[in-house]
């Protein structure tokens, strides 16, 4: 899909199925607030995945409830109202490792069917 092309319905379903993995992996690098997470995922996928706040924040709350991430309110250097900055917890690091392994098994199985390298 060319950069900047909106996702179609099937792409949105793929994103939904891998959203936890993408969020955990994004927060593995360094803590971020919501806007940074959206920008990072969009940049890292060359615009293929564009998260909306309406799907991001419920997912972040779910990950926080699982204990995989934790958030603290911080005032950014630019000032303004404090924002919630999320970071990966030790439990989240284990969850990320498990989700990466699950993704690799799934991806290898799909490649097996498609005929690509396993």
Q: Give the pLDDT score at 7.
A: 47
Residue ranges of the domains in the chain?
A: 10-114
Q: Which pLDDT does position 50 carry in this prediction?
A: 84
pLDDT digits (tens), the chain, 118 positions: 444 444 444 466 666 678 999 999 999 989 999 999 999 999 998 988 888 999 999 999 999 999 999 999 999 888 889 999 999 999 999 999 999 999 999 889 988 999 866 5
pTM of the model: 0.81
CATH class of 10-114: mainly alpha
Residue 76 backbone phi and psi in degrees, to 5: -75, 155
Supply the pLDDT for residue 101.
Answer: 95
């Amino acid at each position: 899909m060319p950069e900047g092309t909106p996702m179609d319905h099937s792409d949105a379903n793929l994103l939904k199925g891998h959203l936890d993995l993408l969020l955990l992996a994004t927060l593995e690098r360094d803590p971020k607030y919501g806007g940074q997470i959206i920008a990072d995922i969009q940049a890292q996928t060359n615009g293929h995945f564009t998260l909306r706040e309406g799907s991001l924040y419920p997912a972040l709350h779910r990950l926080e409830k699982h204990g995989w991430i934790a958030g603290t309110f911080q005032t950014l250097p630019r000032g303004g109202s404090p924002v919630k900055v999320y970071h990966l917890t030790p439990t989240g690091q284990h969850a990320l490792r498990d989700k990466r392994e699950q993704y690799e098994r799934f991806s290898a199985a799909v490649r097996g069917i498609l005929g690509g390298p396993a």
